């Protein structure tokens, strides 16, 4: 049976001005969602750091360094413990609401943004704990889920329409991204381009406001600094030609990665396997991480090393194979978590490998620039959000114009190739083929 997308009525419209009759409750909801999401993102980040420090010791913000100095048995025992926590957590979450949980993307497009609050918050909390323990997934999933739950809460309290709720949940998810990484502009564009699928003027202001408020609140606790420290890499003819060649390769790699994650999500364990599968899968990850601690966590530390050209070419090749497999294994085991930073890390590894090969043909480009461009290309292609990706990379690195020309070129070509082959983004992994097609058609309609 074809899926029918909900159609907004005239009363559902987003208030375009402050004089609109529905403006006051809507903008109050945006403000409260931003405040609550920023506070939640800060608390979840501190919790992740505390968990990481408790299980791995060392720096609370550098898992790779701590895992590198940890003994072999700690790798195995901590990841087995993460499997037990995952299995028990999933069994508990099953009792918090009937049926399955609702993914944020599915909620926005097919349920007017409505999500089971306690189960969603429980899943966010569980993902923060296990990512802190070393599971190869992203930490941004938790603040995104928290933002969506708060958006639902204030939509109910202030009587928003379904269309307003749908936008507010998108803004809440983007605000979670904004607060977690300190990227207010990128987070707002992510909310619209990736989550809501519409870039329209009346949608932009609520997304900007929610993301800005969330980031400002989180900065009270979290540092206001770039996530990645990179030099001002210059553009050059070599980098431009490389971007033109590497963009399609990154697009193809992104398609394969999205399909791997989609397969893994569709084959998550059920029944009693919810308890056993994570223990075996994450225990195996712990064993492999003994010689390759770079597999643990969301991959932020690995990306930083790639951007600074501090990974040997042989290790880059190995990690390019193992990192996607580790993330897929974690998804297959039923572990909840984000996919933003893991996708960025895969791109950084791919860009670095292709860059080393390119340097034999046309030397002179700083190797870290190839990793940076590769990260942007794969991230844009997997999220199918080229505009938000460009802005996010600028905010994450604190750089703007120095490498913008090859950045735009590699992002555009990678996204075009990926979108021509696969309409599903990394955030559509839990959607059925029918839902993906319905979403695609709905995105092509003009906004109301």
- How much is the pLDDT for 1? 45
- How much is the pLDDT for 9? 45
Domain ranges across the chain: 19-218, 237-444
- How much is the pLDDT for 14? 85
Closest CA to 191 of 378, 8, 388, 54: 388
* Pairwise CA distance, residues 127 & 336, whole Å: 5
Report whether 365 contacts 317 (CB < 8 A). no
* Pairwise CA distance, residues 243 & 400, whole Å: 17
Q: How many CA atoms lie within 13 A of 242 on its CB side?
A: 34
Bridge partners of 338, per DSSP, are: 138
The tokens for 26 are 């809507």
Those residues of the chain that have pLDDT short of 70 are: 1-12, 59-60, 96-101, 440-448
Q: What is the largest CA-CA distance in the chain?
A: 64
Whole-prediction pTM value? 0.92
Identical fold between 19-218 and 237-444: yes
CATH value of 237-444 in 1.10.3080.10, 3.40.640.10, 1.10.10.10, 3.40.50.2020 = 1.10.3080.10
Q: What share of the chain is helix, strand, coil (3-state, %, to 5)?
A: 70, 0, 30
- How much is the pLDDT for 53? 94
- How much is the pLDDT for 23? 86
* Pairwise CA distance, residues 156 & 115, whole Å: 12
- CATH fold label, 19-218: Clc chloride channel (1.10.3080)
The tokens for 106 are 């599915």
* Pairwise CA distance, residues 177 & 158, whole Å: 24
- How much is the pLDDT for 85? 96
Task: Calculate helix-pair angle for 340-361, 300-307, nearest 10 degrees.
Answer: 20
* Pairwise CA distance, residues 165 & 171, whole Å: 10
List, in sequence order, the alpha helices (H) in 160-272.
162-181, 184-189, 201-218, 237-266
């Amino acid at each position: 049976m074809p899926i029918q997308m909900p159609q907004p009525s005239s009363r559902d419209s987003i208030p375009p001005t402050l004089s609109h009759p529905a403006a006051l409750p809507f903008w109050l909801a945006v403000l409260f969602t931003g405040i609550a999401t920023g506070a939640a993102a800060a608390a979840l980040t501190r919790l992740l750091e505390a968990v990481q420090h408790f299980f791995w010791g060392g720096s609370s913000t550098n898992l790779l360094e701590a895992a590198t100095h940890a003994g072999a048995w700690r790798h195995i025992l901590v990841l087995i413990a993460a499997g037990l926590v995952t299995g028990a957590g999933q069994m508990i979450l099953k009792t918090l609401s009937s049926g399955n949980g609702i993914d944020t993307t599915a909620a926005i497009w097919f349920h007017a943004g409505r999500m089971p609050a306690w189960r969603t918050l429980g899943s966010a909390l569980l993902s923060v704990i296990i990512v802190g323990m070393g599971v190869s997934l992203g930490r941004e999933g938790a603040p995104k889920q928290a933002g969506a739950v708060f958006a639902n809460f204030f939509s109910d309290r202030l009587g928003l329409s379904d269309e307003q709720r749908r936008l507010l949940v998108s803004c809440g998810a983007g605000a979670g991204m904004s607060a977690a990484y300190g990227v207010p502009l990128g987070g707002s564009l992510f909310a619209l381009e990736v989550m809501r699928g519409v870039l329209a003027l009346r949608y932009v202001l609520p997304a900007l406001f929610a993301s800005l408020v969330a980031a400002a609140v989180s900065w009270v606790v979290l540092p206001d600094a770039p996530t990645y420290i990179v030099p001002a890499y210059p553009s050059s003819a070599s980098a431009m030609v490389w971007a033109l060649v590497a963009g399609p390769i990154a697009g193809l790699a992104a398609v394969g990665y999205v399909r791997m994650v989609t397969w893994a999500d569709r084959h998550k364990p059920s029944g009693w396997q919810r308890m056993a599968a994570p223990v075996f899968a994450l225990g195996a990850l712990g064993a492999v991480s003994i010689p390759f601690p770079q597999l643990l966590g969301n991959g932020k530390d690995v990306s930083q090393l790639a951007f600074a050209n501090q990974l040997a070419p042989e290790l880059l090749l190995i990690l390019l194979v193992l990192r996607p497999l580790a993330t897929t294994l974690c998804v297959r085991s039923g572990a909840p978590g984000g996919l933003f930073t893991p996708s960025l890390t895969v791109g950084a590894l791919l860009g670095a490998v292709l860059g080393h090969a390119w340097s034999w043909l046309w030397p002179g480009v700083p190797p870290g620039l190839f990793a940076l461009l590769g990260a942007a290309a794969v991230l844009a292609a997997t999220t199918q959000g080229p505009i938000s990706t460009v802005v996010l990379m600028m905010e994450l690195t604190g750089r703007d114009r120095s490498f913008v020309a090859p950045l735009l070129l590699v992002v555009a070509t990678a996204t075009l190739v990926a979108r021509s082959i696969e309409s599903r983004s990394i955030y559509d992994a839990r959607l059925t083929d029918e839902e993906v097609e319905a979403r695609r058609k709905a995105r092509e309609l003009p906004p109301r």
